[in-house]
Amino acid sequence: MPSSTSPIGLKSPPKTHVIDSHAIRQFDEAIPLWDGFEGIRPTDSLPWTFPVSLAANPIEGFSLPESGLIHGEQRFRYGRVLEAGMEVTVTSEVVSYKERGDTAFITLLTQGKAADGAMVFESESLLLAKVQ
Amino acid sequence: MPPEVQSWPSHVLTYRASDLIRYAAASGDFNPIHYDSESARSAGLPGIVVHGMLNMAVVGRYLDMMTQGRYRPREWKARFKGFVQPDQAVRLDGKMKRHDPDGALVVAVTITIVGEVKPALVAEAVLIPSTPRDRDDG
């Protein structure tokens, strides 16, 4: 991770995913339920955090450390409802980068757009990393 | 959900190490601190820890079930304030903060390790009614 040059504005090349119903089911089944509800799946809603499985390409010129990375905060905004068969193109961008002491505070904004350009989701992650 | 309901039942959940592996496979998050004790300890953790995003996924499921699938999020956020380890019981607490005139519900959920005071996760969400196309009433 650079500590002299600001990575703000660096962006990943777009990556297109076709939403796969098996991937949705696998994600859904990986969310454990609380005591007394095991095995109950009363709604057909898409798991709200499913967009995290739609990975962006790496951001050229920017890498996160493999260890000591802490996820501090996560936000999602949603537009068009995701469903199986949809094409979603995902890009990720460094929108904020600050160093305080030996810690870097990095905000990554990942956007998912439908084939016609409509916003499907925006995911904003605040990550804390040791400055190298 | 009737507007007079202010809070939902609390529920207790205990993650197993196998839950973390299943979530890693489904989400693509293979950071070894979630399945390899040695990697976790060398990162300064007491042992393997639950993915923050798995906790957030559980909160989403909790809100979805508490509102019986009748709402979906317009936007929401979670702050990860502490680590949760497998085999540690955690409690989910949720309440409705506000019912806006446009039909949106503002809700708050926390995940707290049983026996501790400060939550490991604090989430807030703005929910909007699901349209019939979003959900299956059957």
Q: Is the dihedral of CA A78, A70, B32, B82 positive or negative?
A: negative
Q: Which of residues 39-98 of B touch A (CB under 8 A)?
A: 39, 42-44, 52-54, 56-58, 60-65, 68-69, 72-80, 92
Q: Which of B11, B42, B65 sits opposite A43 (nearest CB)?
A: B65
Query: What is the distance between the terminal CA atoms of chain B, rounded to a whole angstrom?
Result: 18
Which of A47-51, B3-7, B43-47, B67-71 is predicted least confidently?
B3-7
What residue ranges in B8-120 does DSSP mark as E strands? 11-14, 71-80, 89-99, 105-113
Interface size, chain A vs chain B, as Cβ–Cβ contacts under 8 Å: 122
- What secondary structure letter does DSSP report for B7? B
Domain ranges in chain B? Answer: 11-131
Residue A122 domain-assigned (yes or no): yes
In a domain, A31, yes or no: no
A50, A54, A59, A65 alpha-carbon torsion, rounded to 10°? 50
CATH number, domain at A116?
Answer: 3.10.129.10
Which of A45, A70, A73, A122 to probe by mutation at the B interface, max B CB count within 10 Å? Answer: A45
Q: Is A39 helix (H, G, I), strand (E, B) or coil?
A: coil
Q: Hey, which residues 34-53 in chain A have their CB within 8 Å of chain B?
A: 34-37, 42-45, 47-49, 52-53
- Binned at pLDDT 50, 70 and 90, residue A5 comes out as confident
- As a whole number of angstroms, the distance between CA B120 and CA B82 comes to 4
The answer to whether B3 and A28 have CB atoms below 8 angstroms apart is no
- pLDDT surpassing 60 at residue B4: no
**Residues β-bridged to residue A121:** A78, A112
A4 touches chain B (CB under 8 A): no
In angstroms, the Cα distances linking A2 to A52, A109, A128 are 25, 19, 14
> For residue B127, what are the CA distances in angstroms to A109, A113, A121, B19?
21, 21, 15, 27
CA A36 to chain centre: 31
pLDDT score, position B61: 95
Question: Which segment of A1-15, B68-82, B103-117 scores lowest on mean pLDDT?
Answer: A1-15
Q: Look at residue A43 in the predicted model and tell me its pLDDT.
A: 75
Judge: B73–A27 Cβ closer than 8 Å, yes or no.
no
pLDDT at A7: 95
Cα–chain center distance at A88:
13
Q: How confident is the model at residue B25, as a pLDDT?
A: 97
Q: Would the pLDDT of A132 be above 90?
A: no
Give B12's strand partners. B91
Domain B11-131 class in CATH: alpha beta
Q: Where in the sequence is the domain holding A62, given as residue range(s)?
A: 15-19+54-130
- Over residues B76-112, the pLDDT tens digits come to 999 999 999 999 999 999 999 999 999 999 999 999 9
- pLDDT 10s digits, A49-86: 999 999 999 999 998 877 778 899 999 999 999 999 99
**Are A87 and A130 a contacting pair, CB within 8 Å?**
no
Q: Is the pLDDT of residue B3 over 70?
A: no
ipTM for the predicted complex comes to 0.93
Distance from CA of A105 to the nearest CA of B (A): 14
The number of folded domains in chain A is: 1
pLDDT for B15? 97
